[in-house]
Structure 1
Amino acid sequence: MDANAFAKALKTSISEVKSQGHETVNCDKLITYIDRVVEATSTDNNPEENSEVLKARLQLSLDAHKHNLSANLEMFKSIIQSGQNALKTMLLLNGGAAIALLAFIGKLSDNNSSAIPDFAYSLTAFVIGALAIGITSCLTYLSQMAFDSAVKWHNNVATTLHATCGALGLVSISAFAYGTYKTYQAFLCLATCA
């Protein structure tokens, strides 16, 4: 007989003694005590049940960990794709503006070649912006390669490259804005000087 069965049998016996009017033992306190023992042994003495509960908890923890890893991976992919889209956009803006300005300057050289120097600053700004984004693309690759390493100083280099990429991205945006402004000024000068 295990402890749980013993405690139940003892409780039944004491209840019978009490019902017969014997009060030499404080039966209420003894019954309360035995109830506590029964409750404690019913949960602690079943190793199969405890192992199943433990397995369920571990599986729940493992599933939550897998979910978090999956969410982090998707977030990382999203960040990489957003960064690539930003690089492509800035290259398209600066490169497209430089090509369009070169085509316009080519047409302008047929009619009013004296106005060509007015567009030099804007063309230079667009080319610098495109160059900055080209360098950023290369540094992004090197940064990811360094982040993948387990060596501590590689992570420091990767962080520096990452910050440099951000700064070059700002240079590209600023160069596009400056080039656009200088092109606007050159068009105004072309309209008023002609």
Structure 2
Amino acid sequence: MKASDVVKQIQEAVGEAEKSGIKELQIPNLNAYLSNVLTTALEQERDGPSMTEAQATHQLEVWKAQLSAHSTMSVEMFKSAVEAGQTALKSAILINGGAAATVLAFAGNAITKGQILPGMPLLTHIGAALLWFMFGLSGAGIATGFRYLSQFAYNLSNGGAPRWKSAGTAGNIISICLGVGSFVAFFLGGMDAYHAIVLPAT
């Protein structure tokens, strides 16, 4: 309770007493009334200071600004996560596809020139490397499909359907696992190609 409110309340009480025909105020009654006003003011001060309209408006504007900043940051973080996942899958497709094309060109050139023959250990190891690259390429392609399916499920979950959100989460996890597996397949295929060329089996 503000000081002005206390004064107004006392003035209103005196005015009502005057209207009722009371010409003099008894000291004990006035003290009892003032004690009641003081008790009310102390309770309000203990509960916390009252907020003026300007303070409430300022607090609302601060809250709106914080909410807007948080929402913008969440959207940007989501966009960056989506773009990072898309870049990773594109990289997996590119490196596995390029490696497979390189191995095929190497094997085809070697066979054409008669340097190696079908069934030779070197060609067998190159074939194993090609198989790993194909696994990596397929995994990255399937991961891309699951990525878009998970986004589609997340969009449907905005209506409040929890099963679509669970489906989106599952699709996202599958996409991540396939993407990681694609890079692992590239590494294994690269190791097979290295052993085939640098350390040919006898």
- The bucket for the TM-score relative to the shorter chain is 0.7 to 0.9
Alignment of 1:76-115 (within 5 A): 76-109=78-111, 110=113, 111-113=115-117, 114=120, 115=122
CA positional deviation for 1:174: 1.5
TM-score relative to the length of structure 1: 0.73
Root-mean-square deviation (Å) = 3.0
Structure 2 portions without partners, runs of 5+: 12-26, 46-50
Aligned to 2:155: 148
How many residue pairs match? The answer is: 165
After superposition, what is the alpha-carbon deviation per residue over 1:93-144, rounded to whole angstroms, capped at 9, x for unaligned? 1111111111111111122223322211100000110110000001100001
Distance 1:155 1:135 in 2: 20
After superposition, what is the alpha-carbon deviation per residue over 1:54-87, rounded to whole angstroms, capped at 9, x for unaligned? 1211111111101100111111111111111111
Say whether residues 1:165 and 2:175 are aligned partners. Answer: yes
Aligned to 1:12: none
Letter in 1 for 2:183: I
Contact residue 147 and residue 155 of structure 1 kept, 8 A: yes
Letter in 1 for 2:165: N
Aligned-pair identity (%): 25
Contact residue 130 and residue 172 of structure 1 kept, 8 A: yes
Higher relative contact order (Cα pairs below 8 Å, separated by 6+ residues): 2
Letter in 2 for 1:173: F
Distance 1:102 1:129 in 2: 15
Aligned to 1:58: 60
Structure 1 portions without partners, runs of 5+: 9-24, 44-48
Distance 1:79 1:2 in 2: 56
TM-score relative to the length of structure 2: 0.70
Question: 1 or 2, which has the higher helix percentage?
Answer: 1
Say whether residues 1:71 and 2:78 are aligned partners. Answer: no
CA positional deviation for 1:2: 7.3
Aligned to 1:4: 7
3-state DSSP class of the match of 2:146? helix
Letter in 1 for 2:140: I
